Structure 1
Amino acid sequence: MTSPTAVVSGGTRGIGLALSLRLTALGYRVIAPYRSDKEAARQAEAAGEGRIEALCLDVADATSVREGCRRILDEYGAPEVLVNNAGRNRDRPFAELTDEDWDEVLATNLSGPFRMCRALAPAMVAAGRGTIVNIGSTTAIRPRRDGANYCASKAGLLHLTKCLALELAPTVRVNALIPGFTDTPEVTERYGLDVPEKREAIVRSIPRNRIGTTADIADALEFLVASGSSYITGQQLIVDGGHFMG
């Protein structure tokens, strides 16, 4: 018997790598599309010990998605799990956002998941099973300054999740997994978490009194792809220690 296949976009570093590794631990073969960081891709494959295959694919580019997903389907068949994790942010005050700032973030964070689902979901439906998990953000629900493009893209992703859950039912489940502050290099840089005073201020604002780990997010993904969540679709699972209570 061959291992089931999972596709994790942006699955070679940060939260995405933690999700890829958790899926390998659950017995999946993971295809991890990445945009440009070849060293991170190499390290992810090494960490996966033969169960992660990094695939150069830019979710913001329609041709790249079409060709990459055709390769996935030809070589591995329909995936059982698709995780849309790849994301970009280019933060600026609204009045200073350029067309490129807007287009690039929307193309990656919203159009990217749309294209990945459009390319892979029909095969999942035809195979009679599958789970899609879109990685969102609490800023899709609660806005922040200097992130109109990012917030709008993630808000759109939440509604896309619901629309797909309706259209792909009852065969394929689609949910959104929404991390809060998670201890990754990217979050540390963006929010200055390496400055003790800034880190302490954020920790004080989180009821669980700590910043999340990538393992916390992987735990939630494990639940969403397991049979114990088989009656859950079109939903938003926020994993943030109680920081945001909507």
Structure 2
Amino acid sequence: SLSVRNDASFIVDARLSIYEHQSTVCPNMPVRSLIYFSVILSDMLSDKKKGTKSGKNIYGRRLVKIPTPHFVVFYNGEEEQPEVQELKLSDAFEKPTDEPNLELKCKVYNINDGKNKAIMESCGWLNDYMTFVNKVREYHADGAFDDLAIDIEKAIDYCIDNDILKEFLKTYRSEVTKSMQLNYEFDRQLELERADAIEEGMEIGIEKGIEKGANKMLFTLVTKGKLDIDTAAEEAGVGVGEFEKLMSEAGYKVPETV
């Protein structure tokens, strides 16, 4: 089945490319990309996927070569953003420095209508994907949230009839519908929690309020079974145990582990 994913990575000609898709603005992509790269690199060096213990000797005298990383984010949210922007890991450092010992750069490409035409024209799949997304937005522009599934189905029918991602949508129709519903629910919940957080932030500080609102959004999605607790804890930047504690203190029921 088609799992709900918004990232992909692959190696071509000794270059490790990590691609991420975002429908919401996230300045933390360099930090997240660093984590992704570290996990991938660790697996590569330890040879885990091959089920052996040989791996690469990074403690030896011989230089161990690693793929050249390349980090790209495709943004298609409705909030206005530049056509292209570069996010840096050093922007997240608590103490800024002109010469960081560790740096990671993410290129963020806005793939909404009228943006980055050269990229969209050269990549049929990406262009077709945005056609589908725009159709969902068009059909759901004035619709109630309860009508979302119907509007997604209409967009799928339109794309199939017009030979846009036809075979993919015919094969994975139910999975695509479920994935789009989850994305919309996540974004909708985020906006609601942001509104609550901003109001609460007037009393306890805007920044603290938004952080609390983001956590409440994660708690809600975990409670509804829309997000597993490991992923939620990672997004909150804490361990699973700490996340469960925060969730319980906020009055949410921590799901039982199987």
TM-score over 0.5 (shorter chain)? no
What TM-score does the superposition give when structure 1 sets the normalisation length? 0.34
- What TM-score, normalized by structure 2, do the two folds share? 0.33
- State which structure, 1 or 2, has the greater radius of gyration over its C-alpha atoms: 2
Which has the higher relative contact order, 1 or 2, with Cα contacts under 8 A spaced 6 or more apart?
Answer: 1
